[in-house]
A and B are shown apart, each in its own frame.
Chain A
Amino acid sequence: MKTFKMGGIHPEECKFSAGKKTEVISLPKQVVIPLRHYSGKPSIPEVAKGDMVKVGQLIGRADGFVSANVHSSVSGKVVKIDNALDAFGYKNPAVFIDVIGDDWLETIDLTPKVKRTCDLESSEIIKKIAESGIVGLGGATFPTHVKLSVPAGKKAEVLIINGAECEPYLTCDHQLMLEKGEEIIIGITILMKAIQVKRALVGIEANKPDAILNIEKWAKTVEGVEVIPLKVKYPQGSEKQLIQALTGREVPSGGLPIDVGAIVQNVATTFAVYEAVQKNKPLIERVITVTGKSVPEPGNYWVRVGTPLSHVVEKTGGIPEDTGKIVAGGPMMGRALPNLEISVAKGTAAVLFIPSSESGRGKVQNCIRCAKCVFHCPMGLEPYLLMNRSEKNLLDELEQNRVMDCIECGSCSYVCPSNRPLVDYIRYGKLKVGELIRSRKVQQL
């Protein structure tokens, strides 16, 4: 079975909510839609206090290249445009909307019928995706239209669809592949047309045999789409690892997937592309997994963007008593939430309750040079060394040791027998080295 060459780990899978049908969570009283869903610039608000909005109406216009449109996920009245806490605990601009009814824009096709044909040209598709505010739903929430715009002088050869869902606990993509197989395949053909490639590879981890069967079934109805089962190994769903597993090509250090002719998109993004292009529906809702070891009924839910997490938690059975940490996203790369007033963003894949018996960090001990972190690093780095250099602020050495190649997957911290906070320090080092590289570029200009 195919997989990436170096490193990787296999944490306990804990996919409790696998096979649970997606349910729709009722609308909250108020939504707080963040205008910044990604690392780029916040969008410029298009509505003002007191405006009435409909579902799907544009409320934030993309500002600059790495930025995406934001649409209202509910109908109702704009209460205010103010700063709201994001998952990082920082305040960022957001639109507060009081929900009144559920009144959708007339242009959105709400019929359940699957529309298979798409007559749009490549550039029209990308324009449509940009208008619909689609961002990568795998977690990084990078604007999809930017990823699809192939830079001059480079050529895309293959489209790679990420259905690996290698994070433990998460099942939202799995469930989507089971329920929306046909739509995902149409989304893939639309993306293939957009970037003008003849071939698409869908990588799905072997622990989801039903999803593999379903996607294979629908892939036979179109040309050029191939489903490839992957070995169950974390971080299989990371862009660079997935490209290596499926095509055998290695993205060069500091390079992008397009350097080896590949463009990677998540299955959930593919579904959003289908809805945007075929149904005219912007990205206003997504599937999230609510799960955890002591959650009585883990499940997958359709949630509108901007719904406060407290509402999601309330509607799905409340916080289990022994919860020590609540994490937005998976246990490996998600982030612990400072409170539940934060709203669901486009990239929020899960709400994970970690019991207090497992949530604490172990006592940090000295590095015993066992090299487990080196052995398990999927990027072939030396995490113990990078952490040490980062602690001492030796930025030049960090850069020489390719700190910028770290994908922050957390495999090193996971395997460390001394509980050393490797990723924490490496992430900090990356940030500092990134600043250094940028300042160097500014100086050169």
Chain B
Amino acid sequence: MNLILVSVLSLGGIGAVSAIILYFISQKFQVEEDSRIEEVEAALPGANCGGCGFPGCRAFAAACVKADSLENLACPVGGMPTMEKVANILGKTAMPVEPLIAVVRCGGSCEHRERTNRYDGVKSCAIVHNLYGGETDCSWGCLGYGDCENSCTFDAIHINPITLLPEVDEEKCTACGACVKACPKNIIQLRKKGHKSRRIYVNCVNQDKGAVNKKVCDVACIGCSKCFNVCAYDAISIHNNLAYIDDKKCTLCRKCVEVCPTNSILELNFPPRKPKVEETSNVVLNG
């Protein structure tokens, strides 16, 4: 009996003393944290994808609370509704952000770009990229080992087993930019999602001369400048034998799509054209 009593008292005593010490320590080292950070974090999607440029949702929430205005602060996953909620909590105004989407700029499917050698090593784009130019003769295009697919936390990008090219799921893509970072060839880009998801872009990143890349891929941009000449809005520029369409200037007039001799300019989600331009309709289906 005595033994039990001693044990209870001594352990209880140690507990009580420790509690008192801990109380004073917690008073001494207490960190004042803005309670709004918790609230903002709760309003965020919690995917911790890093698409906003901060390491995780909490860091972004802290940045929102600290900032004077919400300019340049946007959650690509939640979009405007989330940012409005955040703005309400903080009493600031949410800046309108243009929704973006990841775009894969390579059309070199097996059909258009011949496989000239076989690689049987590690199936990782990053490793292949450092080893050699890839299974095709185009050393710029998609390698097809799916580093983008592995990097995506939203299950929004997948390698098509037939074309061996990644395809972006428009519903799921949040433009977090993880695949853009994962792609060693810099093929994936975040572009304006556009009205009704309509987009026009050059589906190629090959900077070789036209005569060279025409041999290795049917749908490569050959830098012929036809699109550059037809564009009335100064949206197209040509550098290193490669056309680039500035999505901020592009008005989606589709004139460049019509003139491209290699079908390397892609139009997505447009209504079908009138019958007279029937031959380009297959491009729409590819998207």
Contacts and interface: CB of A to CB of B under 8 A. Distances in A.
B133 A90 contact: yes
A360 interface: yes
Interface string A75-103: 00000000101001111000000000000
Contacts of B132: 88-90, 335, 338
Nearest to A360: B120
Given A90-B132, A91-B139, A425-B122, A339 B116 contact: yes
B117 A421 contact: no
Contacts of B108: none
Interface in B210-259: 212
A431 interface: yes
A388 B117 CA distance: 29
B122 A424 contact: yes
B121 interface: yes
B122 A338 contact: no
B121 A338 contact: no
A88 B203 CA distance: 25
Given A338-B116, A339-B116, A427-B130, A90 B122 contact: no
Interface residues of A, number: 17
A425 B126 CA distance: 10
Classify the interface of chain B: helix, strand, loop or mixed: loop
Contacts of A360: 120
A89 B133 contact: yes
A361 interface: yes
Interface in A90-132: 90-91
Nearest to A341: B137
Interface in B101-129: 116-117, 120-122, 124, 126-127
Interface residues of B, number: 18
Contacts, number: 45
Nearest to A326: B117
A431 B130 CA distance: 9
Contacts of A339: 116-117, 137
A91 B212 CA distance: 11
A91 B121 CA distance: 22
B1 interface: no
Interface in A405-445: 421, 424-425, 427-428, 431
Contacts of A83: 208, 212
Contacts of A427: 127, 130-131
Given A338-B132, A428-B126, A431-B130, A91 B208 contact: yes
A425 B137 CA distance: 24
A421 B121 contact: yes
B134 interface: yes
A338 B130 CA distance: 14
Interface string A247-267: 000000000000000000000
A85 B139 CA distance: 10
A91 B130 CA distance: 14
B153 to A, nearest CB: 15
Contacts of B212: 83
B121 A361 contact: yes
A89 B134 contact: yes
A83 B126 CA distance: 24
Contact of B131 (A85, A88, A91, A361): A88
A85 B212 CA distance: 11
Contacts of A428: 124, 126-127, 130
A154 B122 CA distance: 42
Contact of B120 (A335, A361, A431): A361
Interface string B133-168: 111010100000000000000000000000000000
Given A83-B208, A88-B133, A89-B134, A424 B139 contact: no
A361 to B, nearest CB: 5
A90 B139 contact: yes
B32 to A, nearest CB: 32
A249 B132 CA distance: 36
Contacts of A335: 131-132
Contacts of A424: 121-122, 127, 131
Contacts of A85: 133, 137
27 contacts: A83-B208, A85-B133, A85-B137, A88-B131, A88-B132, A88-B133, A89-B134, A89-B139, A90-B133, A90-B139, A335-B132, A338-B116, A338-B133, A338-B135, A339-B117, A339-B137, A361-B120, A361-B121, A421-B121, A421-B122, A424-B121, A424-B122, A424-B127, A425-B122, A427-B127, A427-B130, A428-B126
Given A338-B116, A338-B133, 20 more contacts: A83-B212, A85-B133, A85-B137, A88-B131, A88-B132, A88-B133, A90-B132, A91-B139, A91-B208, A338-B135, A339-B116, A361-B121, A424-B121, A424-B122, A424-B131, A425-B122, A427-B127, A427-B130, A427-B131, A428-B127
Interface of A: 83, 85, 88-91, 335, 338-339, 360-361, 421, 424-425, 427-428, 431
